[in-house]
Amino acid sequence: MGFEAAIVSNDRSETNHGCGRNCLGPCCFPGARVPLYLYGEAQCMDTKGETIDFLHSFILAPWMEKQKQGLFRYDVTSCETKILSGDCGFIAQLNEGRHSKKRPTEFKMDQVLQDFDPSKFNFTKVGQEEVLFCFDPENSPFATSSNMVSPIEFGHILLIPRLLNCLPQRLEVNTFIIALQMAKQANNIYFRLGFNSLGAFATINHLHFQAYYLEYIFPVEKASKKLLVNNVKGFNIYKLENYPVRGIIYELGSSNFQELSYQIVTVCNILEEQNIPYNILIADKGSQIYLFPQCFAERQVRGEVEAEILETQVNPAVWEISGHIVLKRKQDFENATQEYAWKLLAEVSLNDKAFNKIINLVTNDKYYSKM
């Protein structure tokens, strides 16, 4: 039986003065007054027995309140957005503050697996005023921050599983399920979550997922696909077609999140061990998961990316790969075309030979038999 979803307060009787910075570290976070959302199969109810809209009540409304409090580095709601002409429907956004105010990367870009380094910036160093709520089935901290990196779009948040465990940016089954559950609880096709591995433009080596709300269909969600595996353990596997980035799609059918997560994370862990960066998009309320192995940083180091692309200073992470291109300069936004977006994303994609190796991995029966 699943836990009943309810709005409660993680209110501890013990007062913890900590280090005095009111941070999210073990010195201050235990005993903090933080709203707690318990998710499960039951409908979300408040203490009066009334139905709660999780997306609005726990994410969008508190996010807007944090914005009013001046916690963000800049106002993303004022950023210009347009749909580029063409059949793909790429979304271009001008976000000039993202270039000058985004937190810099503090680790090597050529290694997907790196140990957590407490001396580098991590989310335990963030103030509690940036936390929206804890998201959990059992009462351990899966903190959700309103904005610990530079925001991209309205409602942009970070989900930080097992915050105090200080996990590196690597997927595990139990933490990936948390992201799927958040997509399910939001219950809105315009709310998506994303994951960037190290080497695929994650800028902080502390396990986290990004999420935000955008009322557009992403171009990748409209792209055609070819069936690879039909109804294995209750889900289907496809490969993207007619899209600039080669990718894999997992589609949830009669399966559950545990089985789906095992398959996806198994493949991702192998990519990590082979030092292949990747990005993940969680879409359609958690029922569509897109996996994009990528090589942009590697191609950049080898001098294979055209200067025209590099001059725009766009780092193609999960949102860009999905078709939401965040541009940092006015002239690039004004001159953006579908041809430019396609050319940028094509630089991300693995070649046919490398991608076919991953197809063989994804369709290998030995992983299904273990589930």
* Cβ atoms within 10 Å of 11's Cβ, excluding its own: 11
Query: What's the token pair of residue 51?
Result: 């139905």
168 HSE (CA, 13 A, CB side): 13
Which residues are within 8 A (CB) of 15 and not within 5 positions of it... i.e. 6 or more apart? Answer: 31
Of 56, 156, 206, 208, catalytic = 208
For residue 208, indicate whether it is catalytic.
yes
Under DSSP, is residue 27 helix (H, G, I), strand (E, B) or coil?
coil
Pairing of strands 209-213, 157-160: antiparallel
Strand intervals (E) in 137-296: 143-145, 157-160, 191-196, 209-213, 224-232, 235-241, 248-252, 278-283, 288-293
**Which one, of 291, 294, 296, 274, lies nearest residue 362 by Cα?**
291
Contact status, residue 144 vs residue 133, Cβ threshold 8 Å: yes
Amino acid at 349: S
The residues that are catalytic are 208
